[in-house]
Amino acid sequence: MSMEAHVEIPLYLEAHITIEPVFDERREEASRLAKEFGFRLADLLMKKRSEETAQRSDKDTFMTGHSKSFDDIQQRLMKLVLGLKKQGFQVWRYKVENTLMDSRYQDVLSIIDKNP
């Protein structure tokens, strides 16, 4: 699936890839792969489910990438997912989000205190 080339991205697209929880050397390996494709591995584990099961941890490891171009983020996401799978990582999810508002760029709601 591809978005129309003329779609305007006012701020940025944010892509997330969720993988099995990894630690130590495997975490470093996942981080290196993420960087290769312009993503960053989060420093935290996200608790996503109320209970752990034998098949699935209640925590996720995830990585994030940004772009103004859907084609760019889609290509990098696909290459990273395939690279992770090739290295034996269990990929659980991927998604691309369009950022409609971000107070880092503009406080459109005028509700963030300005730093002195």
pLDDT at 65: 98
pLDDT 10s digits, 33-50: 999 999 999 986 555 445
Q: Domain 12-99 maps to which CATH number in 1.10.10.60, 3.30.70.2190, 1.10.3210.10, 3.30.70.920?
A: 3.30.70.2190
Q: To 10 degrees, the CA torsion angle through 70, 40, 28, 72?
A: 20
- Is 33 within 8 Å of 81 (Cβ atoms)? no
Residue 61 contacts residue 21 (beta carbons within 8 Å): yes
Map tokens 């995830």 to a residue: 62
What is the rounded distance in angstroms from the CA atom of residue 95 to the CA atom of residue 73?
10
pTM: 0.80
